[in-house]
Structure 1
Amino acid sequence: MVIQSLRGLSIIALLVAAQSVAVVLEARNGAAHGDATWYHTGQGACGAWSKDSDHVVALSPRQYAGGDNCWRHIKIHYQGKTVDATAVDLCPECQGDSIDLSPSAFSSLAGLDVGRIQVTWSY
């Protein structure tokens, strides 16, 4: 009886672990949806300096993942336009899958005066 209970717990633990891995893989490879804003660049949380003319992005704390996603390239889509940007910074105030773009990356999608747009993006 005890062994059957342990086997049942082991199977449940494996299923939970497999589900967690699937969620992580989906987040890494699937499309994300969120707000995009823009900011003036400088030295990013990934350690390098960027200029406002670089196509770079600051990720939300969730997506930044303690620096694990530094230097990853993302494609950002808005109203039929697409821009490629490199993750170089952390956006502490960004929630969920929202991102903060350099002025040049943002202006490839919309005018800076717009300030905030809803985008879809992926690694």
Structure 2
Amino acid sequence: MMLSALGLLFLLPASAVMGVSTPPPGNNTFVLGKRQTFTNVMMTWYSNDLAPVRSTTVALREFHQDSDFVVAMDRPLYEEGGCCGKQLVISVNGKSATATCVDECISCPYGALDLTKGLFEYFAGDLGVGLVFGSWSYA
């Protein structure tokens, strides 16, 4: 008996067809194939008040201001600098922006982002909020 390609899809688990991987326990993140979309993840902010912070990455070695739309991401996704320079599309509270990964956030849980003050204010309006939840994917 011969199965059609469509019939074969119904025999495979959804994870095999969609490329879904399971995040670490306690995380609401789902990774879909190469697009890697993260939803309902925590986003905090960091400050460059004293002086521009130089990216710790070998790849970029740039200085960043509070007003730059750049982020730091958790250690596993940071990939020892592999994410540096990659563009992310971030959505929070109905607003979207494109930002660049430039650094590692050691204290961030899986999928979370640490935003510059300017980017955080764009989404939250007030730094006093402290954290927001949103989604992001690679551009």
TM range, smaller chain: 0.7 to 0.9
Give the letter aligned to residue 121 of structure 2. Answer: S
- Equivalent of residue 38 in structure 1, options 32, 45, 48: 45
Paired residue secondary structure (1:63) = helix
RMSD: 1.8
Indicate how the Cα distance of structure 1 residues 27 and 53 shifts in structure 2: closer, same or farther if over 3 A, else same.
farther
In structure 2, distance between residues paired with 1:62 and 1:28:
16
The equivalent position to 2:127 in structure 1, one of 106, 112, 123, is: 112
For residues 87-102 of structure 1, the aligned pairs below 5 Å read 87-102=101-116
Q: Hey, what does 2:95 align to over in structure 1? A: 81
SS at 1:82 equivalent: strand
Q: What letter corresponds to residue 45 of structure 2 in structure 1?
A: W
Query: CA distance change for structure 1 residues 49 and 60 in 2, over 3 Å: closer, same or farther?
Result: same
* TM-score w.r.t. length of structure 1: 0.76
Aligned positions, number: 103
Return the TM-score normalized by structure 2: 0.68
Equivalent in the alignment of 1:9: none
Distance 1:114 1:28, change over 3 A: farther
Gaps of 5+ in 2: 1-15, 22-30
Q: Which residue of 1 aligns with 2:136?
A: 121
| Runs of 5+ consecutive residues of structure 1 not aligned to the other structure | 1-18
Which structure shows the higher strand fraction? 2
Task: Answer with 1 or 2: which has the greater Rg.
Answer: 1
Q: CA deviation at 1:43?
A: 1.0
Which structure shows the bigger proportion of residues in helix conformation?
Answer: 1
What percent of counterpart residues are identical?
31
Q: Whose relative contact order is higher, 1 or 2, with alpha carbons under 8 Å and at least 6 apart?
A: 1
State how far apart, in whole Å, the 2-side matches of 1:96 and 1:88 are. Answer: 17
Give the distance between the partners of 1:102 and 1:74, measured in 2 at CA: 14
Residues 62/27 of structure 1: CA separation in 2 closer, same or farther (3 Å cut):
farther
Residue 96 of structure 1 aligns to a residue in which SS? coil
Pairwise CA distance, 1:23: 5.4
